[in-house]
Structure 1
């Protein structure tokens, strides 16, 4: 069983313009997913829909139910929605999307009145055929009469441009509505409904109408199923931002950079103020955006050193160092996720896969031991509790030994930029806590991030770190939980052993204590790196050249022959991405590969759905040795996979010299571009590229302007704290800095408008 996240009333996850699918939870009527998605929706979206599906290995998945939330409803909850909501039935007649363009008017002709219906075109219709398209036609109904347009085959963006007319008899009732419907024609079986729009004849007789109109479903007579289909617990929050051109955010970026490069002795900097005004709930988002901003500026190491030094300087007890959710701890955590995911996969993936495949029963807690499950351990008879614990200990120490060995032997695999960040952290902690009794503090500071906030969470929930496609079953989850607990204890250098409530973990203590020496030696080697090797100007070329950053099956086609738009023109190929090349072949085992050097990639961009009537498309433009541009179109399975490939390719091509500033989001078909309708194939692209944007999270490529807007929004939310006169008198420098940056941030002070020159300067 699985759930899909959709918007704009799309019928199923496979055809959603924006959405994502969770992992499948097998054979369970009470599934838990715990997955989080960020959707970048158009400002004019209407609904956000959630579908619960029963996955079938053969044929289509069955829809169990759905929840549809309107934009107005979500917006009315300023703090977000967090509740159980009953599922409603999925009616195909209600699963519509898209718009239709019509022109309607009543005209006088030869002593008679004629209702003229000019059906022009439609866009973004729901796909009803297996090819991912539809065969749409329009049907106009009025006063018992029906007129239809021609059928346009295999498209979700049909253009009819047909005039349909009704003669209005004398005394025709004005309350009779004019209905325009769109249907998908099927050769066999019933036609599929795609949406409808209703117009008042009285209104048309007063004035003609022309424009785009949203397609609506049939009026539903079935309401809430009363919980009969189950309920879904959701946590939804809508944040609306209007992203301005980059030049508007440059003053803010300059201030943030100034905080790092020229820190104030009084610790009054824009970064310090940002941490002061942002809430605990938003601190992780702020840290993520700051890491991405400074990565883009090539200054992530000075940024991390600044926040870490600030955190260390404010800490008096080394045992509490980086234990809170401060800006420093969150920034280091997000930094590791952004730059260290290939490293994490190389260290843990093989071991995690083996744990999933072996499905061994392990349990150390006497209260949780289930003798009925011991058949996986012994076929002779039920084992005693002591035998189960002994067998479980053997299995766990075996897995732990492999995990620790893989970690401590991974020094050369760790990205140099991570190693330099840890080296700086080690020095700051060692300088602040030089006492002999605090000699372990510098190790724990690093292992606390690497083991407790990186390796252990990935072991606990491999799905969230893309180590597995599905969540673990109950038995495997328990194994992963015990291993994660042990890895945490190793990261703490065994200091907490014997002090917790889980005394049943004691059999693992000897192994944990014996691993501490290896871990310290590993950390010493990890920070033994020349700082110059951490050159941030090319952060994504620092991965080992042989490392495969991403791989998987995709559907590809060349740009040649684009007049043929068919799903059969896409070929299924297995792709590998490294720092050196993007390669593909018929299968992972196929010996012959086609390889594209990364240095030749000029742009990687999304493709409009109307280009191929297909969703989740991207294009990769390369410049060959002769200077000629070549484009390859690729279709991904879903929006999550599309985002991951976009992010991964952009990261490895960040330092290329051949990047294109513009591209066409459509395709050249029928002697013109589908996006801008230009007839010159070589004309400059009509849309700005994002090829140089590598600041996204591993699964979520974002624009630097979006990062800056989010930081600006946090400052805006905390403007009352920033402009208070009581603060101005002691920290007026901050306002002068904001004023010099010309940020439209602070209004006049609310408590004493004219009591401070700093406040008055800020308001200007």
Structure 2
């Protein structure tokens, strides 16, 4: 039976690929329709594509789901091709039973689309795939004060005057698997960016990695915490830089769609667009044309990258400067002259530029994946850029000798690369942006803005679409204001400190979807005022809900309960109570929930995700680092099967014990919030 406290289900429809063509153009106009708990929701229609990207969240209320037959407790996700005339065409489906979500609240990934018979054989397995994330439980983000001990422990680990004191970072790395290390690295980078210590954090990790590496040829070749953290930092800080450098040439490659092939074994004469009056195009002609195209594309890419030194973000340049210093100190001498260059180019070229060239969509350089012809061109260019990043060390030694026509250009570029890297790190060490701690919201900063439809609760009972007035809203940490248009001089404002609750509204309250309510109170003696707001879609609704909850999280008069319906015709539509001032029949959200809105630098959200990971490995921390140390302290043998990774000096103030204490404190805080919610949640059945 599903947990009654997990009453909402979020289905995040991300994208699809290789959908069946249903239109005469060879594409489709796909949209997704989802059925769950006698509810039906749809995404928007994406025109003329077989690789749509929706990135929309559809939310279902699971109240009463346990009354359905077990076979009906499913999520049915269908993909359809929209047609202006006639019936829509079915493209495929995926079904998820709800019961497994009770044990594993989140399911995400690519799922093969099946016909109605649910067998691939019926359509040869050619219906394509759908990428979705189904999430049953909302994860609570506590107020900032609860994460301060964890943040302090992280900050202390990189600010320690002892450059070799990295035992806490050792713990984080050893307790993160290869699968989870990328997420852990991403959250750590965001947390330290918020603290203004990202470069210091990366320098600490890189120094550990360099000092532990004996062979310079293996430096940063593994997916260590240092490698993953540097990679995530470049993606966060350097994405505008990447777009400025690569977007023009990548766009040209997509538009020209040239047939390029250097491998004689893969040349397909029928795919070349060239026409010869003397007959068909020969393999030699195709190869010569391909070499010419590749040299042109590669030259443009190299010129764009090697001419971008001043465009590179200061934080990245400072990271590379410190990395250059650490490697030079660890591997001195003429024989290791290129090691310091290879360390930087390994990150900048092999983990940043080359992957972006290979898969532009993943780096938001293009909206859609490349077609097979363009993808092959990008693959060859990525190989060449990788060779440059490796300083040409593997040229002539691999199996791909058919790349030899590009070798002179690659060798020439390697010399230019060294000059580029020297100029890249030629900067003052105190240039790093963000040394001061980042505040979540500055009072004068507009956090979110846009058009919404508003309606006051005091309006007439007859609700039509015209009772909702379209207004432009601005949200800051101090006010929630609105006017008729962005340029309108007169604004109405609601002080943030007066907000008591920000909650969703049941669709049947006004027969309108995507609605929320903002409950305000002028003073404790006065009753509350409700403003109803309609958003254009569920994504916008979630973003506004989460943004408003964040700025009002620490208000003094937050309400424990609210009415998800509306007071109409002398009663509440949700619980049928007649008194307008009666206590709410549903609990409010006392904290923001993950998945509603992702602030790129929200330290609380990042700390919560990191805590969730640490909580999952709490037993490993206790068994591998504490119990073994305690046995050693009293002269007992180590427990059988234990991994003796005990950190030296596991005293009450040791990193392992301090980390365990922080995890347990956060766990208790979450439990306290849950108990408080259960105590303040009224019995809904008594209100009906």
Shared fold, TM over 0.5:
yes
8 Å Cα contact 2:105/2:137 also seen in 1:
no
8 Å Cα contact 1:87/1:230 also seen in 2:
no
Q: CA deviation at 1:328?
A: 0.3
Q: Tell me which residue corresponds to 2:626.
A: 723
Q: Is residue 371 of structure 2 the alignment partner of residue 473 of structure 1?
A: yes
Which ranges in structure 1 are unaligned for 5 or more consecutive residues? 90-222, 542-553, 574-591, 621-630, 681-685, 748-764
Q: Tell me which residue corresponds to 1:712.
A: 614
8 Å Cα contact 2:262/2:291 also seen in 1:
yes
Distance 2:106 2:58 in 1: 17
Q: Tell me which residue corresponds to 2:661.
A: 743
What is the CA deviation profile of residues 218-240 of structure 1, one whole-angstrom value per residue up to 9, with x for unaligned ones? xxxxx745742565668989797
Distance 1:336 1:645 in 2: 29
8 Å Cα contact 2:33/2:42 also seen in 1:
no
Q: Tell me which residue corresponds to 2:392.
A: 494
Q: CA deviation at 1:311?
A: 0.6
Q: CA deviation at 1:87?
A: 2.3
8 Å Cα contact 2:81/2:88 also seen in 1:
yes
Q: Is residue 142 of structure 2 the alignment partner of residue 245 of structure 1?
A: yes
Q: CA deviation at 1:439?
A: 1.8
The residue correspondences of 1:185-334 to structure 2 (distance < 5 A) are: 224=118, 227-228=121-122, 242-243=139-140, 245-246=142-143, 247-262=145-160, 267=165, 269-334=167-232
Q: Tell me which residue corresponds to 2:78.
A: 51
8 Å Cα contact 2:262/2:402 also seen in 1:
yes
Q: CA deviation at 1:321?
A: 1.0
8 Å Cα contact 2:306/2:417 also seen in 1:
yes
Q: CA deviation at 1:501?
A: 1.5
What is the CA deviation profile of residues 349-390 of structure 1, one whole-angstrom value per residue up to 9, with x for unaligned ones? 222222111111111111111111222566774221111111
Q: CA deviation at 1:436?
A: 1.3
Q: Is residue 85 of structure 2 the alignment partner of residue 64 of structure 1?
A: no
Q: Select between 432-441 and 266-275 the one with higher mean Cα deviation.
A: 266-275
Q: Tell me which residue corresponds to 1:73.
A: 100
Partner-residue secondary structure (3-state), 1:743: helix
8 Å Cα contact 2:189/2:229 also seen in 1:
yes
Q: Is residue 328 of structure 2 the alignment partner of residue 430 of structure 1?
A: yes
Q: CA deviation at 1:666?
A: 12
Q: CA deviation at 1:330?
A: 0.4
Distance 2:247 2:543 in 1: 18
Distance 1:700 1:617 in 2: 25
Q: Tell me which residue corresponds to 1:357.
A: 255
Q: Tell me which residue corresponds to 1:520.
A: 418
Q: CA deviation at 1:40?
A: 10
Q: CA deviation at 1:250?
A: 2.7
Distance 1:474 1:5 in 2: 29
What is the CA deviation profile of residues 711-758 of structure 1, one whole-angstrom value per residue up to 9, with x for unaligned ones? 4235425333233415448441487344446626589xxxxxxxxxxx
CA pair 431-389 structure 1, distance change in 2 beyond 3 A: same
Distance 1:614 1:524 in 2: 60
The residue correspondences of 1:449-460 to structure 2 (distance < 5 A) are: 449-460=347-358
Partner-residue secondary structure (3-state), 2:340: helix
8 Å Cα contact 1:556/1:633 also seen in 2:
no
Distance 1:669 1:567 in 2: 17
Q: Tell me which residue corresponds to 2:650.
A: 732
Distance 1:617 1:387 in 2: 63
The residue correspondences of 1:13-24 to structure 2 (distance < 5 A) are: 14-15=42-43
Q: CA deviation at 1:529?
A: 2.6
Partner-residue secondary structure (3-state), 1:69: strand
Distance 2:511 2:268 in 1: 53
8 Å Cα contact 2:626/2:650 also seen in 1:
no
8 Å Cα contact 1:243/1:705 also seen in 2:
no
Distance 2:60 2:349 in 1: 36
8 Å Cα contact 2:187/2:607 also seen in 1:
no
What is the CA deviation profile of residues 214-262 of structure 1, one whole-angstrom value per residue up to 9, with x for unaligned ones? xxxxxxxxx7457425656689897978546244433222222221111
Distance 1:450 1:38 in 2: 34
Partner-residue secondary structure (3-state), 2:187: helix
Q: CA deviation at 1:344?
A: 1.6
8 Å Cα contact 1:555/1:571 also seen in 2:
no
CA pair 734-378 structure 1, distance change in 2 beyond 3 A: farther
CA pair 532-695 structure 1, distance change in 2 beyond 3 A: farther
8 Å Cα contact 2:213/2:219 also seen in 1:
yes
8 Å Cα contact 1:277/1:714 also seen in 2:
no
Distance 1:411 1:602 in 2: 46
Distance 1:632 1:399 in 2: 55
Q: Tell me which residue corresponds to 1:447.
A: 345
CA pair 421-525 structure 1, distance change in 2 beyond 3 A: same
Which ranges in structure 2 are unaligned for 5 or more consecutive residues? 1-18, 20-29, 66-72, 440-448, 473-484, 519-530, 582-587, 629-637, 639-643, 666-688
Q: For 1:343, which of 241, 252, 256 is the aligned residue?
A: 241
CA pair 346-475 structure 1, distance change in 2 beyond 3 A: same
Distance 2:323 2:597 in 1: 23
What is the CA deviation profile of residues 317-344 of structure 1, one whole-angstrom value per residue up to 9, with x for unaligned ones? 2221111000000011111112222222
What is the CA deviation profile of residues 182-216 of structure 1, one whole-angstrom value per residue up to 9, with x for unaligned ones? xxxxxxxxxxxxxxxxxxxxxxxxxxxxxxxxxxx
Distance 1:58 1:418 in 2: 53
Task: Give the number of equivalent residue pairs.
Answer: 551
Distance 2:87 2:563 in 1: 30
What is the CA deviation profile of residues 429-462 of structure 1, one whole-angstrom value per residue up to 9, with x for unaligned ones? 1221122122222222111111111111111111
Distance 1:338 1:521 in 2: 26
Relative to its length, the structure with more helix (as a share) is: 2
Distance 1:369 1:595 in 2: 62
Distance 2:305 2:455 in 1: 47
Partner-residue secondary structure (3-state), 1:271: helix
Give the TM-score taking structure 2 as reference length: 0.64
Distance 1:713 1:275 in 2: 15
Q: Is residue 455 of structure 2 the alignment partner of residue 556 of structure 1?
A: no
Distance 1:330 1:338 in 2: 12
